[in-house]
Structure 1
Amino acid sequence: MFKTWWPFEWIVALRFLREGRLQTMFIVAGVALGVGVIVFMSALMTGLQMNFIARVLSAQGHIQLLPPRELARPLRGGTDAPAGSLEGAIVQAPLQRLKSIDQWQAVAAQIRRMPEVLMVSPLAGGSALVVRGSASRAVTVSGIDPALYYPVVDLPGKIARGTSALGGSDILIGTELATDLGVNVGDKLRLSTVAAGTGDADSTLTVAGIFDLGNKGANARSTFVALRTAQSLLALPGGVTSLDVTVRDVYAAEVVAQRITAATGVQADSWIKNNAELFTAIAAQSTSNNAIRFFVGLSVAFGIASVLAVVVVQKSREIGILRAMGISQGQVMRVFLLQGGLLALAGSMAGSALGAGVLTLWQRSAHTADGTPLFALVLAPSLFAEALALATVTGLLAALAPARRAARLDPVVAIRG
């Protein structure tokens, strides 16, 4: 039979908590509610942001590299003309032609070597006319290499009918376009383009799959073909019009894009830049979530501090006796710091369980009109660990002032009451 010896500070702290059971229960319940709110709001905001980002990036890469825009070069005057004079009074921007990224293979290889980059996928895209019988629709044709493009954009996961496999004579179309043209998997379509300087080009392709991007407009105008097929139709032999890049940290996409531009000289637009308003909304959500956590933590701290301040008044005689028996000021401080830490730890554990339960209940009950969940909530262990650590540190800090007050009590005055 072994006997466990507890440190003196633990014995006194636990005894004070047991003697004030009602106060202890109320403060633990208050801390639990506060931590439960923090856990619920944090998980909800994180899930909402992940859902927004997943929808934005469902049909595009994190970064898109484009060829430089063509700029007008105003003609200067002759040698006798004043410096800086222009021959024309009006300078108009030139019409942007479809062109390839210069030496794109070397650029792609250089980007792949960057540690922040996961995947680089070439794409040859342009405008085309899809024809079936007497019906025709203007569409955007995207030539892709499935092995490189599908890790960037999960097109196979959006296939409603057919397959995502692309041969040289295959085409993938959206559900809206398939309905408009009255076609299904296995039917033939004629894709026509007008390339500058080369005239018309057309090809008869077989519908291999029909996809649903979750956007009616995109489903009506988007088509995908093999990279070589698009290069032939758009008069881009061996060329590509963009490079789609995915990075390890989606929130660092703009920083990586600037590094790519500095290293290669190619225009790099991140999803953050292209969706500035959405990213601003996400940043505002993060700010509001942090504000909620701060004020909830502040209220928890005041609750713990107020209870311990009352305990100091109630136990002043006991504290005086302990001091008279030779207990140091440091030991008295540790008694109240332990109480604050234990109250916060117990409350945070109960609050984490409460938050997880509410999150589970909310996820089961919150559905869209078709019965699917609104968005996925990830109950990450790190969220609960952060909540436990935050609440415990808050409890210790809140107990600091009452602990110092208790340690400074004069033993004689405290005993006399």
Structure 2
Amino acid sequence: MRYELFIAIRHIRARKRQTILSVAAIGIAVMILMVSQAFMAGFTQELYDKTVNNLPHVVVSPRENDEYIHLYKNIVGKISDIDGVVASSPYLIGEASFKSRDNTKNAVLKGIIPSQEDYVAHTGNDIIKGEYDELTYSEKSIIIGDKFAEDMDLDLGDRVEISFPNANPTSLKVVAIYDTGTALDASLTYTSLKDAQDFYGTADVINGISLRLEDFNRDREIARIIEDNGYNADGWTVNNPEILRTIAIETISNNVTLGFILLIASFGVVSTLNMVVMGKVKEIGILMAMGATRSQIRFIFLIESGILGLAGAVSGTAAGVLLAMSIGSYQLPEGVYGLESIPVVVRSADVLWIITIVFLLNLIAGIYPAQKAASLDPVEAISTR
């Protein structure tokens, strides 16, 4: 063992109370950082699962000045061949007026091919009543959201009258009810593509294609490829910028707050090492008189700073991981924010970077007391009482 390390450990062990307090201060700050980071990762994943995972990653719309996409089957085939596109779903969407008994409501009617829409947006997973596949096998059928059903006083098997200017009035039977936990539950309904085309009085055309990508982060790249072929296309980051904005705001506020917490905790290391320097002035002078260089004295106190920072980082991270996992295992009462438990994700990469950052931060914090110790005059230090 190098004597610098030996002396550093002796200094730390000699002032146990200050050492424990310094390590505890760093550990508590790191624990808060670890738990907060696990919450942030869980929140981000939950947000992606609830939104991006159920949204079309890219939406293709008609050419400029065109109302519809004609010969869409050929176009869907070409788009599906683009590297990175794993599913596509053509649709015809528009406004409609709904009436049931004395209840009326304006909402969106979306004509889809159920199996293809499910591949893209996982719509079948949101069904809480009825069967999603009924939309394929039952003519003149419709799927509605639970909030829409509540507003219109509708249930499975009920029929709803649909009309709109320049459209062909029709009556559709409710075959399923979905719940996404979003505003769409009150404003979006699904019917088959054929029934939608009959209602709007169009030929076999569509006005949009939803795409699902292997990597949703490539949405803008895929959209550009489609635009090069003459169609308008937008990725989810363009159509839903509020998702990225929410994550960015949460991340920035989280990092700023935790940065101040770590900064405060680092002052504990500076305080402890300053007290060590003040208490070991004579020993430092003796070491210099015995031949220790100023760089070696400086190194001793940097080692102490590193040991304190590493001990605080490791203990705080371990405590934070345990606390985060215990919080994540707690089951929330049914229906609270649509969550079964608090979303928590502990990632090994987060653990490693937190330990590394905290260690380096405390090493930097130890530069001042280390320099102070190295700048002592050995003659004056030895003569100090």
TM range (shorter): 0.7 to 0.9
Specify whether residues 386 and 102 from structure 1 end up closer, same or farther in structure 2 by C-alpha distance, changes over 3 A only. farther
Q: Which residue of 1 aligns with 2:324?
A: 359
> Aligned in 2, Cα 1:118/1:398: closer, same or farther, shift over 3 Å?
farther
Cα offsets for 1:172-212 (capped at 9, x unmatched): 2223444535441xx3747756696xx6375x765442212
Cα separation, partners in 2 of 1:47 and 1:194, compared to 1, 3 Å: same
Give the superposed CA RMSD: 3.7
1:230-249 aligned within 5 A = 230-247=196-213
Deviation, 1:160, is 0.7
* Distance in 2 between residues matched to 1:398 and 1:156, nearest whole Å: 55
Instruction: Name the TM-score, length of structure 2 as normaliser.
Output: 0.80
1:173 pairs with 2:144? yes
Distance 1:368 1:58 in 2: 25
The equivalent of 2:58 in structure 1 is 63
Pick one of 288, 296, 309 that aligns with 2:253: 288
The structural deviation recorded for 1:358 is 3.9
What's the offset of the Cα at 1:392? 0.8
2:125 corresponds, among 149, 154, 157, to 157
State the Cα distance separating 1:136 from its structure 2 match.
Answer: 6.8
Unaligned segments of structure 2, at least 5 residues = none
Residues 415, 120 of structure 1: alpha-carbon distance in 2 compared, 3 angstrom cutoff = farther
Identity %: 26
Equivalent residue of 2:180, what SS? coil
Q: 1:285 to 1:178 in 2, by over 3 A?
A: closer
Residue identity matched to 1:395: N
Using the TM superposition, give the Cα deviation of residue 159 of structure 1 relative to its aligned residue in structure 2, in angstroms.
Answer: 0.9
- Structure-2 separation of matches of 1:284 and 1:182: 40
Alpha-carbon distance in 2 for matches of 1:178, 1:130: 11
Q: CA deviation at 1:132?
A: 6.8
Indicate which of 264, 285, 292 corresponds to 1:299: 264
Distance 1:38 1:280 in 2: 22
Offset, 1:30: 0.6
* Matches for 1:9-408 after TM superposition, within 5 Å: 9-57=4-52, 60-68=55-63, 70=65, 98-100=67-69, 105-106=74-75, 109-110=78-79, 113-115=82-84, 119-128=87-96, 138-165=106-133, 166-169=135-138, 170-178=141-149, 180=152, 182-184=154-156, 187=157, 189=159, 200=168, 202=170, 207-215=174-182, 218-247=184-213, 253=219, 255-256=220-221, 259-260=224-225, 263-277=228-242, 279-360=244-325, 362-363=327-328, 367=332, 370=335, 373=340, 375-408=342-375
Distance, in Å, in 1 between the alignment partners of 2:131 and 2:276 is 71
Deviation at 1:300, TM superposition (A): 2.5
The 1:207–1:348 alpha-carbon spacing in structure 2 relative to 1, beyond 3 Å, is: same
Structure 1, unpaired ranges of 5+ = 1-5, 71-96
Number of residues of Structure 1 aligned to a counterpart in Structure 2 = 378
SS of the equivalent of 1:173 reads strand
Question: Structure 1 residues 27 and 398 mapped into 2: Cα distance closer, same or farther (>3 Å)?
Answer: same
Q: Which amino acid aligns with 2:69?
A: S
C-alpha spacing 1:24/1:103, structure 2 compared with 1 (3 Å): same
Note if contact 2:72-2:206 (Cα within 8 Å) is conserved in structure 1.
no
Q: Counterpart of 1:172 in structure 2: which amino acid?
A: I
Q: In 2, Cα distance between the equivalents of 1:262 and 1:308?
A: 62
- Residues 263-309 of structure 1: CA deviation (Å, up to 9, x unaligned): 34533344444444564343222221121122122222322123222
Instruction: Describe the shift of the 1:242–1:375 C-alpha distance in structure 2 as closer, same or farther (beyond 3 A).
Output: farther
